[in-house]
């Protein structure tokens, strides 16, 4: 296994600075030996910072500049991009954010917004300037059970929103599997889970938004009011405004019944997933794998009637096995390959740990899961996550799905002894402008499909070079096949033109320059 410890030299080399501000603790060129896509951009030089801070403090906006505070924000969940803001402000209102952005335009100070911090390519890492922490805006403002909507501040985490909705017997439509993501951050990038095959991405559940534009205007927008801003901000990667409040559709909360079907063939599982998505045969569906040996197609239902129809009409059309039949197949496979006993023991150990975790007695009632948010949010990231989120992804149209995922799976096998894939479908809401430069591939019709490729790192420490090389190989598949990515900002910014071409990128860049004259809001994410 070609792994190395993180280089202490990389962590101590300082980039040259243009002011007396502290130097970056990671050099922008620290990734050696691989094609450089986009690593850490050069740190902003600090010109105008003191005047900017003075102007904010004169208007009662707190800016924290102590090193120990700034260091909390040095990286994101990906752990490969490192930067340091000059100062941090905790967001408390749209009016406060408006003041910040107006002064930032005047003094040309970059402002980087951070919600849950679950970015993996450095998108929420500030390379100088102000770090705006949205977690101070974390209240549910109102729940409208009659019209089935909720209005919430955008810094709230999904798990907190879910807890509030439960009190009224309600639930969100779709959200990220990791429920510590913020609502605003999710709406700005998409938001995909096992609900998405029927309910679309999280951004499509938005009814209206309150947005602070890069020039500090506070505007309400929806499909009927200021629709151009609405379409730019949703799936806009934080380039066209800061989402401060959102009104979103909700639904009645229901317990769910879960079924698991096991495969030894990744292709069979992917094709069956597409069948279920295309035919609307399940309320929830997705794939989780342990390597490419134990592939689990999970299928769930809100109602007994939908479950009954599935078993009458669709069960015999999918090729997955029940657990006993699959166990016999696996036992036969490894009996004929005794040299792979270590792999067999690993799979068995994962199975023994996973079964009780996905059927926790405290969340079960009459055979149904009574809180899918807890079960999927907590357990998926407990067993498939880790201290460092290295999850390159591909988002593709239906016809390219199987080939793209098989190629990505081969890359995983090349780099890591243990890894998992998480695959699901995404129902599209027509051909909206918001999809143009986003995780929705341009050739997708009716449905798109996505897959995250996640190494299980365990206690092994891999170098940044090694992990970045792995991610680059996944992203290169997307370039070659003309697909898209769930994440395409930050360190992989260099892929944007290669994937989308000059025309749409130049179009969005022109819109960005018009809306953000000083180019201060979330710089180095896309533009």
Q: To which H or E segment does residue 425 belong?
A: strand 419-427
Give the pLDDT score at 383: 63
Which DSSP string corresponds to 283-335?
SEEEEEEETTTEEEEEEEESSHHHHHHIIIIIGGGS-PBPHHHHHHHHHHHHH
> Which stretch of 109-113, 272-276, 387-391 has the lowest confidence by average pLDDT?
387-391
Rounded CA separation 246/230 (Å): 11
Q: 352 CB contacts (<8 Å, ≥6 apart)?
A: none
Strand arrangement of the beta sheet that strand 87-90 belongs to: 87-90, 130-133, 111-114
User: What is the pairing mode between strands 393-397 and 419-427?
Assistant: unpaired
CATH 3.40.462 describes domain 257-488: yes
Q: What is the mean pLDDT of the chain?
A: 87
pLDDT digits (tens, 9 = 90+) for 13-49: 333 334 443 443 333 443 444 444 445 678 999 999 9
Q: Domain residue spans in the chain? A: 8-132, 136-252, 257-488
In 101-200 the beta strands, taken as DSSP E runs, fall at 111-114, 130-133, 140-144, 149-153, 170-172
Give the pLDDT score at 4: 36
pLDDT digits (tens, 9 = 90+) for 395-420: 999 999 999 999 999 999 999 998 99
Mean pLDDT within 498-522: 94
Q: 224 CB contacts (<8 Å, ≥6 apart)?
A: none
| pTM of the full structure | 0.88
Q: Which CATH architecture does the domain made up of 136-252 adopt?
A: 2-Layer Sandwich (3.30)
> Which stretch of 77-81, 208-212, 362-366 has the lowest confidence by average pLDDT?
362-366
Give the pLDDT score at 446: 95
Percent of the chain with pLDDT over 70: 88
Give the pLDDT score at 366: 82
Residue 9 has pLDDT above 80, yes or no: no
Sign of dihedral through CA atoms 356, 360, 361, 365?
A: negative
Strand arrangement of the beta sheet that strand 419-427 belongs to: 257-263, 294-301, 284-290, 419-427, 447-455, 393-397
> Which stretch of 126-135, 296-305, 338-347, 384-393 has the lowest confidence by average pLDDT?
384-393
Confidence of residue 421 (pLDDT cuts 50, 70, 90): very high
Select from 161, 132, 134, 151 the least CA-distant residue to 222: 151
Give the pLDDT score at 461: 87
Asked whether the beta carbons of 453 and 408 are under 8 A apart, the reply is yes
Give the pLDDT score at 388: 76
Helix (H, G, I), strand (E, B) or coil at 432: coil
Confidence of residue 3 (pLDDT cuts 50, 70, 90): very low
pLDDT digits (tens, 9 = 90+) for 448-502: 999 999 998 888 888 888 898 899 999 999 999 999 998 888 888 888 888 888 9
Residue 5 has pLDDT above 60, yes or no: no
Rounded CA separation 290/330 (Å): 13
Give the pLDDT score at 397: 96
Rounded CA separation 509/501 (Å): 13
Residue 340 has pLDDT above 90, yes or no: no
Q: Which CATH architecture does the domain made up of 8-132 adopt?
A: 2-Layer Sandwich (3.30)
Alpha carbon 503 to chain centroid distance? 26
Please state the φ and ψ torsions of residue 379, each to the nearest 5 degrees. Answer: -75, -40
Select from 217, 194, 196 the least CA-distant residue to 205: 196
> Which stretch of 36-50, 70-84, 113-127, 416-430 has the lowest confidence by average pLDDT?
36-50
Select from 474, 292, 297 the least CA-distant residue to 391: 474
Highest mean predicted confidence (pLDDT) among 26-35, 128-137, 432-441: 128-137
Residue 10 has pLDDT above 60, yes or no: no
Residue 123 has pLDDT above 90, yes or no: yes
Mean pLDDT within 174-198: 89
Residue 316 has pLDDT above 60, yes or no: yes
Sign of dihedral through CA atoms 435, 439, 444, 448?
A: negative
């Amino acid at each position: 296994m070609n792994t190395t410890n993180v280089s202490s030299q990389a962590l101590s080399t300082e980039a040259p600075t243009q002011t007396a501000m502290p130097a970056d603790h990671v050099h922008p060129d620290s990734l050696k030996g691989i094609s450089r896509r986009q690593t850490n951009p050069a740190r902003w030089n600090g010109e105008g910072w003191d005047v900017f801070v003075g102007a904010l403090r004169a208007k009662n906006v707190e800016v924290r500049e102590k090193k120990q505070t700034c260091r909390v924000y040095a990286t994101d969940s990906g752990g490969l991009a490192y930067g340091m803001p000059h100062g941090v402000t905790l967001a408390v209102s749209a009016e406060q954010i408006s003041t910040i952005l107006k002064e930032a335009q005047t003094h040309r100070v970059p402002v980087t917004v951070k919600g849950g911090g679950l970015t993996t390519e450095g998108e929420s890492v500030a390379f100088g300037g102000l770090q705006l922490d949205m977690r101070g805006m974390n209240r549910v403002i109102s729940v409208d059970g009659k019209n089935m909507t909720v209005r919430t501040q955008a810094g709230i985490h999904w798990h907190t929103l879910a807890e509030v909705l439960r009190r009224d017997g309600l639930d969100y439509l779709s959200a990220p599997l990791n429920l510590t993501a913020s609502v605003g951050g999710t709406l700005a990038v998409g938001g995909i889970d096992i609900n998405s095959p029927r309910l679309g991405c999280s951004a499509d559940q938005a009814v209206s938004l309150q947005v602070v534009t890069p020039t500090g205007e506070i505007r309400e927008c929806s499909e009927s009011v200021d629709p151009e801003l609405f379409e730019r901000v949703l799936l806009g990667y934080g380039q066209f405004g800061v989402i401060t409040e959102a009104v979103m559709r909700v639904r009645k909360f229901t317990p769910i019944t879960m079924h698991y079907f096991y495969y030894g063939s990744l292709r069979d599982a992917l094709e069956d997933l597409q069948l279920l998505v295309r035919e609307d045969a399940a309320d929830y569906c997705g794939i989780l794998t342990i390597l490419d040996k134990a592939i689990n197609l999970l299928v769930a239902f809100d109602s007994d009637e939908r479950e009954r129809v599935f078993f009458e009409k669709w069960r015999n059309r999918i090729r997955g096995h029940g657990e006993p039949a699959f166990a016999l197949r696996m036992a036969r496979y490894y009996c004929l390959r005794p040299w792979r006993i270590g792999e067999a023991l690993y799979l068995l150990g994962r199975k023994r740990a996973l079964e009780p975790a996905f059927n926790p007695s405290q969340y079960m009632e009459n055979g149904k899961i009574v809180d899918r948010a807890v079960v999927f949010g907590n357990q998926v990231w407990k067993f498939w996550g880790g201290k460092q989120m290295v999850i390159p992804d591909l988002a593709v149209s239906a016809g390219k799905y199987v080939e793209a995922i098989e190629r990505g799976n081969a890359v995983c096998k090349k780099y890591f002894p243990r890894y998992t894939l998480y695959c699901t479908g995404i129902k599209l809401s027509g051909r909206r402008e918001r999809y143009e430069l986003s995780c929705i591939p341009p050739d997708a019709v009716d449905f798109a499909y996505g897959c995250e490729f996640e190494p299980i790192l365990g206690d092994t420490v891999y170098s940044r070079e090694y992990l970045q090389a792995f991610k680059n190989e996944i992203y290169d598949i997307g370039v070659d096949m003309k697909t898209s990515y769930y994440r395409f900002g930050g360190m992989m910014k260099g892929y944007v033109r290669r994937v989308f071409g000059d025309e749409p990128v130049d179009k969005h860049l022109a819109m960005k320059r018009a809306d953000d004259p000083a180019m201060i809001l979330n710089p180095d994410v896309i533009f």
